[in-house]
Amino acid sequence: MPYAAPVREMSFCLSNVIGLDKLAATARYAHADAETVQAILGEAAKLADEVFAPLRRNGDLHPAVLENGVVRTSPGFKEAYAQFVEGGWAGVTAQEDSGGMGLPIAVGTCVNEMMAGANLALSLCPLLSAGQIEALEHHASDELKAIYLPKLTSGEWNGTMNLTEPGAGSDVGALRSKAERNDDGTYAISGQKIYISWGDNDITGNVVHLVLARLPDGKPGTKGISLFVVPKYIPDADGNPGEANSLRVVSLEHKMGLHGSPTCVMEFDGAKGWLVGEEHDGMAAMFTMMNNARLGVGAEGVAVAEAAMQHALAYAQERKQGRTPVGDGNGTIADHADVKRMLMTMRTLTDASRAVALDCAFSLDMAVAAEDEAERKAHKARAAFLTPIAKAFGTDVGCEVSDLGVQVHGGMGYVEETGAAQFFRDVRVTAIYEGTNGIQSMDLAARKMMDGGAAARALLAEIEATAKALEGTSLDDLAMPLRTAAGQVAAATEALLAQELNDRFAGAVPFLRLWALGLGAHYHAKGALAAAGGHEGETRAALARFFAATQLPLIPGLAAQAGMGAAPLYALPAEALA
């Protein structure tokens, strides 16, 4: 069952829900008008549909392998990536002076979603490069930028992110990798890193590692960590890959899914590296890449949800079983009430999570493009608040929707040949990497509330404005449910602000989810308002009403969980659970 990039849905969301026109009105993104963006998305869709998607199953059946110290990627990946590079897609959002297109992150997020929906394993390679490009743009020296940005932006080289170690996962400050100063101003990097996506391959000319390590005088914890560029091949005087650096792939992880994506255990043995940013301040630079990656990973979840939805819908529209309750009774399983429920849930959750991701991207864009400093500052705070929601909700939805996709297929969903199970196996890790969804929730409940709830209240005002806009229209029946939900989210937020930190952490996951559902209803309502009248309006109104009817009633229960505090969690010692 072929994948079709959802260009129409993306374009509608950008123009009618998010506000692409506001971006195009800025000097920075004046070239990103609706017509130009539509053309770009159309071209990206061709690559996703015709080149990436046909290789998704191939990557699952024929994983990347490590042969004689070299990673060999899945058959067809090298040729597909070459077409990606030829089209200039690696530099969609990169600055134009480095050879990029200079397009908004919102547009890049759409392109990333298409590639991930078509082939998540292959799409991870350029996604990580995009994050590294942003980190180098903001923190690297001009010399490093001149060497690495053109190659990364073109896609000739790919970038990686090396944080995790066997004894230092989410607790990055516990890392043991070391850096020693060399006489020539470079550094010798030694240590082992694990879970390094696309840490080696045979499809790019060089692999550029961003590596966190500690200098001898680095303080314990994250404040004493530095960041280094450590290439597989050291660039020569002309900027081309030269001598091999002192690093190697120890092994490839045997994973539940994403078999086509080589996840490496990397060993650095006095490898030559170059400092990015200041000594002992590596986390600031790495967080630039991590925040980029968190939005990107959220979009990966949306992407797989979309692909799984398409796969399940196509099957449901063909499969006949039992007498159906509509027409002559000889319809497909798509007419059965429970299957209909699953399909509607899949569609509305996918659309809601996409809107969260694109709204987050929009604010990241406006934070640099808005003419007014106060507006830039407000959008920066807005983007910071939305980032953990975009990552956690997007990936949770990817897992939930792909799980429902297996259920729609029934017994055939559990049979690998149908391809339904691959979506779930591939997407499951997205809720774990780039900061687990629990960590994202804790970030929302703590760090993102350090402003006393100002960013949260600003978003709640937007939801209230949408509720008001619904009044007196054909969608008037949605106004009160949305206003009620906004009030419940507001009350939960104020209650959380009064809690101690560990009590906040205890209820952080349901707190993030209730926010996501409130925002999801807001976006669905905005879309229905924009499309009011005609068949499009009827469709979006039906989706908005279904989401409001099925998801908004969950908010009070989530609020109760969010406010329960930590005491119930510590009522029993862990050994009592055995």
Enzyme catalytic residues: 434
CB neighbour list of residue 359: distance below 8 Å, 6 or more residues apart: 17, 18, 386, 390, 519, 523
DSSP H/E element including 276 = strand 263-276
Exposure on the CB side of residue 91, measured as CA atoms within 13 A: 24
- β-strands 206-214, 187-197 pairing: unpaired
Q: Which residues pair with 210 in a beta bridge?
A: 161, 229
What SS3 class is residue 535?
A: helix
CB 301 within 8 A of CB 397: yes
CB 435 within 8 A of CB 391: yes
DSSP H/E element including 241 = strand 241-244
Q: How far is CA 451 from CA 98, 419, 437, in A?
A: 36, 46, 22
CA distance 265 to 383: 33
Token output for 377? 């500052």
DSSP H/E element including 66 = strand 65-67
Token output for 109? 């997020």
Q: Nearest-CA neighbor of 519 among 435, 393, 335, 374?
A: 393
For the chain, the first-to-last Cα distance in angstroms comes to 44
